[in-house]
Amino acid sequence: MLKQIIFILVTLLSVGALSFSFFKIYKNFKLLKHAYPVKDHAKRFIRLFKVGFAQNKILRFPVIGFLHALVFWGFLAIAFGSLEIIVDGIFGTDRYFSIFEPIYSIVMATGDIFGLIILVGVLIFIFRRTFMNIKRFQGKEMTHKAHKDASFALFLILLLMITLLGMNSGYLALHQEHYVGIYPVSNFIAEILAGLSTETLHIIEQINWWLHILLIFFFANYLPYSKHFHVFMSLPSVYFSRLTPLTQMTNMESVTKEVKIMLDPNAAYANSSEDEEKEIERFGMKDIEDGTWKNYLDSLTCTQCGRCTSVCPANITGKQLSPRKLLIDFRARMNEKSKGLIKEGKNYNDNKSYLGDYITAEEIWACTTCNACAMECPVNIDHPSIIMDMRRYVFMEEAAAPSLLNSMSTNIENNGAPWQYPPTDRLKWADNLFINN
């Protein structure tokens, strides 16, 4: 009974802390603009299966990609056992889900095997990060804190797998022929423990049981503040990813209205009273409040794997642009400014901005909009949309685009074409040509 009370208190504390973290993130989402209507759910579920569950984009890397996919699938298999621990802890039962035999044995066997696979996979990941100079793990945005975060998360996963196998092994050795489920890997470890006393085996099982669930609770609460938040956010990000072509810009309602007024001046007086009450909308993105909920979701989902930056032609040729940095800086800027925006509203100003203090004009104009970053991202993050919105701001609000673009814009406005010649002079190039019929 005491064990149940302690477990329930620990569970409530963990769930409460995690709920608080998610509530803070929810309030941040409310600060942002609408992205696009979420429809065509059939297409979204198909994409979720292919990219999210089947991991088809990560599997383009035949070795390390397959290993990462195995770790992902392993977590899905082990989740069943984790849920059972919570049920057992609250109600004082032992292996409660065993009532679903023979499915239970299949799931337990799968989770036990994947426990070893994940353990080996994480050891390989740690070795690669520690001893191999993987270029895409480097970059100006990859601070010492970011590297420590990655290593710490991998270490936690390693401990989770050790305690999982230790718990199963202690259970098998303690109950010998009277256990439920199938545990192919833990059976070998249980044979080593078989000579220990019943009291010792019970202690081994209980220590690993408690450590495993406490690590799960700690890891879950650590994730919202880690780059490994993609454990929670990757599947939603894939589901809500855009179905329209990449870099296809959405029309701004205010701009569309101005164009219609130019074509029909009488329309200017139709809703004049309503227009006076509306707040003037900023063109494009200068700071995080000008972004969309999808931009923020992408920043929370980013695993900082660097695949986007590794294929970026601008970055490869030595320019400052790093698509990964866009997401890291967006999340950092949101963490920095959101409290002030929530407390004081949209008028809050800390004399800093996402564009300028985090991302420079040189970075956004280096982009070729080739979409390689978004195509390569294993969780369908849309990097170009952030760049295009910042360009829109620079172009339409500050008129600070590169000189050639400004000239082109002026020519289109004055002459209806990108060239500096008026329409009446467009055929003068042919004046001195002698064409024989």
71 vs 56, 76, 148, 256, CA distance in Å? 14, 9, 20, 48
Phi-psi label, residue 306: left if phi above 0, alpha if psi -120 to 50, beta otherwise: left
Per-residue pLDDT for 310 more than 60? yes
First to last CA, the chain: 104
pLDDT at position 270: 57
Handedness of CA 86, 103, 232, 208 (dihedral sign): positive
CATH class belonging to 253-415 = mainly alpha
Total-model pTM: 0.88
Tell me the one-letter amino acid at 52.
G
Phi, psi for 197 (deg, rounded to 5): -70, 165
Task: Determine which helix (DSSP H) or strand (DSSP E) holds 23, and give its type and residue range.
Answer: helix 2-29
Angle at 345 between CA 343 and CA 346, to 5 degrees: 145
Distances (CA, A) of 138 to 15, 269, 306, 336: 35, 57, 8, 24
Closest CA to 354 of 309, 291, 410, 402: 291
CB atoms < 10 A from the CB of 303, how many? 21
DSSP state of 139: S
pLDDT band at 403 (very low <50, low <70, confident <90, very high): confident
Give SS3 for 33: strand
Q: How many CB atoms lie within 10 A of CB 334?
A: 24
Domain boundaries, the chain: 2-18+61-231, 253-415
Burial level of 343, CB count in 10 A (0-12/13-18/19+)? exposed
pLDDT in tens, 266-283: 665 555 555 555 566 788
Residue 152 predicted with pLDDT over 90? yes
Question: Residue 413's pLDDT is what?
Answer: 81
Model confidence at 437: pLDDT above 60: no
Q: What is the largest CA-CA distance in the chain?
A: 108
Is 359 in a helix, a strand, or coil? strand
pLDDT of residue 276: 53
Residue type, 354: Y
Task: Round the CA-based radius of gyration of the chain to a whole number and report it.
Answer: 28
Give the model confidence (pLDDT) of 36-66 as tens digits: 889 999 999 999 999 999 999 999 888 899 9
Residue 422 has pLDDT above 90, yes or no: no
Count of other CB atoms within 10 angstroms of residue 126: 16
Q: What is the pLDDT of residues 199-237, one digit of tens each?
A: 999 999 999 999 999 999 999 999 999 989 999 999 999
Q: What is the DSSP letter of 264?
A: -
SS3 (DSSP) at 349: coil
More confident residue, 62 or 310: 310
Tell me the mean pLDDT in the region 377-398.
Answer: 92
Mean pLDDT, residues 335-351 taken together: 91
Predicted confidence at residue 265, as pLDDT, reads: 66
Measured in degrees and rounded to the nearest 5, phi and psi for residue 174 equal -75, -40
